[in-house]
Amino acid sequence: MNYSQIFCEYLKKHDLKNTTERLTVLQVVLAMDKHFDVESLIDRLKSQQKKISRATVYRTMELLVDCGLVTKHRFGENGRVYEPKSERDNHDHFLCVSCGKIIEFYDPEIEGIHQRLCERFGVEILDYSHQLYGKCNKCSG
């Protein structure tokens, strides 16, 4: 089942309408670079003569996040950054404060930490954010 199908099912399940704007946004999102902000997405839409308002783009990103096709981040002081989510691609981010490079990594111990937290406090974790900031190998020293 591909992204469009998943999105359409999600829309149907929630009694939301299957509009061309929503589908177009999804198509263009999938063709974006790994981490992108809403401005770049809007620029891309414009450059492809798709006229979709800023409001609709924001509204649609909300839906894409909610249905699990896209994840939303906040890196540093900047605004939101999105990235399409693929199955079993769970990772955290290192951001170089000098050159802006982003390194994605996965360390299974993060789940151990979360597991222990749940047991210790009886909480239920729905989401998390974990970012590291520093100098990449090219920028340090």
Q: Which residues bind Mn ion (CB under 5 A)?
A: 83, 104
Output the smallest distance, CB 128 to DNA, in A.
Answer: 19
96 is a site residue for Zn ion (CB under 5 A): yes
Q: How far is the CB of 67 from a copy of itself (least distance, A)?
A: 18
- Report the amino acid identity of residue 88: R
Contacted entry of a copy of itself, DNA, Zn ion, none for residue 116, CB cut-off 5 to 8 Å set by kind: a copy of itself
Sign of CA dihedral 62, 67, 79, 33: negative
Query: In terms of Cα–Cα distance, which of 18, 40, 19, 12 is closest to 28?
Result: 40
Nearer to a copy of itself, 22 or 93 (CB): 93
Contact call for residue 101 and Zn ion (CB under 5 A):
yes
Measured from the CB atom, is 31 or 55 closer to Mn ion? 31
Residue 36: DSSP 8-state:
B
Half-sphere exposure of 73 (CA within 13 A, CB side): 23
CB 66 within 8 A of CB 81: no
35, 8 in Cβ contact below 8 A? no
Q: Is 18 one of the binding residues for DNA (CB under 7 A)?
A: yes
Structure tokens at 111: 């789940």
Residues 35-74: x where in contact with DNA by CB under 7 A, - otherwise, as a string: --xxx-----------xxxxxx-xxx-x------------
R_g of the chain computed on alpha carbons: 17
Binding site for Zn ion (CB under 5 A): 96, 98-99, 101, 136, 139
Binding site for a copy of itself (CB under 8 A): 74, 94, 96-97, 103, 105, 107, 109-110, 112-114, 116-117, 120-137, 140
